[in-house]
Amino acid sequence: MLYQPKKILVTGGAGFIGANFVHFWLKNHPNSRIVVLDALTYAGNRANLVAVESQENFRFIHGDIRDFDLVLSLLQEEEIDTIVHFAAESHVDRSIHGPDEFIDTNVIGTHVLLKAAKKVWLDNLQTPRPHRFHHVSTDEVYGTLRPEEPPFSESNQYAPNSPYAASKASSDHLVRAYHETYGLQVTTSNCSNNYGPYQFPEKLIPLVISNILDGRPLPIYGDGLQIRDWLYVDDHNRGIDLVIHQGKIGETYNIGGNNEWTNIEIVKLICRLLDEKFATNEEMKKRFPYAPQVSGSMAESLITHVTDRLGHDRRYAIDAGKITKELGYCPQESFETGIRKTLDWYLDNEGWWRAVMDGSYRKWVELNYSQNT
């Protein structure tokens, strides 16, 4: 039977995937109401939601998922029936340099949400209120794959390697436990690497785009032969939408694009696509005077191999067979179309990435990565 959410609390809705989710959802389900709860960390940006800010069925709350009283009052006051939980510290490198915030937000924060949801939807009620708690998680909880191993399926054992992955694994276990113990109606999705608009330029794809345009080195960790399975962000949100409406309570669904690339291949592809843009558009040279193409070089000249990430997972790949078979999931974007769309978005939204990069992010990179950038 289809579940029909009416009033949704989206945590982390000002971040990359959360903001894309809000746009995706309000476009496809204009009759539902969305309340975003976001702490606006370095990764959260209210500008990501400007297009929906004035809609009556949208509300933004600047607040922390660790604030139990705030979460409880929001669930009650807004009569929320569905939580879609994106809020997290999400960058692996940051978790290596400073794991505490990852434990606080990803583990404690998720637990606060679960406690508040249980109190409002289950406690002291003869009949539980119709509700759903959808937890957005990652393929990194499964650890790393050898080249010959099959992609991760939902039955793979958890083996998280970074503090980020371990914090997400812990949150997955808490979500499961609240279902098994208290009967909270939960679903979880574990997705592979996303790319697309509004991704903070500390992650590989937007970092490479912005660094080429400004003529900065392209840091490749180690040999660059690590493999990730890339999915366009709307296709991730399409999967979440299916799980919310049709997913079985208590189940986990892997979401991925069957699209494995080594990091160096991705970087070279972006280099080639930007070289083509510069070769066919004189205006680009005026806009980005520090790009290597302006002085007759190719973007690949910026590639710089740097010290590898500690505990770097060699390969991730998702087997999306379960969501495909059970819920009819099918990504709509090919990598060819998705990466071109993404490139165009960053070219059309130069103001956005410059604004998010000239704040705390730059200072953090200088402190932690002076050898790499």
139 tagged catalytic: yes
Residue number closest to ligand NAD, CB atom = 15
Q: What type of residue is 27?
A: K
Residue number closest to ligand DAU, CB atom = 138
Q: Which of 91/322 has CB closer to ligand DAU?
A: 91
| Of positions 5, 15, 163, 219, contacts ligand NAD by CB under 6 A | 15
Per rule CB under 6 A, count of chain residues that contact ligand NAD: 31
Binding of ligand NAD by 208 (CB under 6 A): no
Distances (CA, A) of 162 to 94, 103, 373: 10, 12, 22
Q: Which of 220/242 has CB closer to ligand DAU?
A: 220
DSSP E strand stretches across 17-104: 33-38, 58-62, 82-85
Q: Tell the burial category of 307 from Cβ atoms under 10 Å away from its Cβ (0-12, 13-18, 19+).
A: exposed
Task: Confirm if 5 and 82 have CB atoms less than 8 A apart.
Answer: yes
140 tagged catalytic: yes
Binding of ligand NAD by 162 (CB under 6 A): no
Binding of ligand NAD by 188 (CB under 6 A): no
Catalytically annotated residue among 139, 202, 319, 333: 139
β-pairing verdict for 82-85 and 132-138: parallel
Distances (CA, A) of 340 to 27, 95, 182, 289, 336: 22, 30, 46, 22, 6
Q: What is the DSSP string of 8-39?
A: EEEETTTSHHHHHHHHHHHHH-TTSEEEEEE-
Binding site for ligand DAU (CB under 6 A): 90-92, 138-140, 192-193, 203-204, 207, 219-221, 226, 228, 263, 309, 316
CB of 147 to ligand NAD, least distance (A): 22
- The footprint of ligand NAD on residues 101-160 (CB under 6 A) is 105, 109, 136, 138
Residue 288 binds: one of ligand NAD, ligand DAU, none (C-beta under 5 to 8 A by kind): none
Of 337, 308, 62, nearest in space to 196 by CA: 337
Binding of ligand NAD by 39 (CB under 6 A): yes
Task: Confirm if 141 and 168 have CB atoms less than 8 A apart.
Answer: yes
Q: Catalytic residues, which ones?
A: 139-140, 164
Residues that bind ligand NAD (CB under 6 A): 11-12, 14-18, 37-41, 43-44, 64-66, 86-90, 105, 109, 136, 138, 168, 191, 193-194, 200
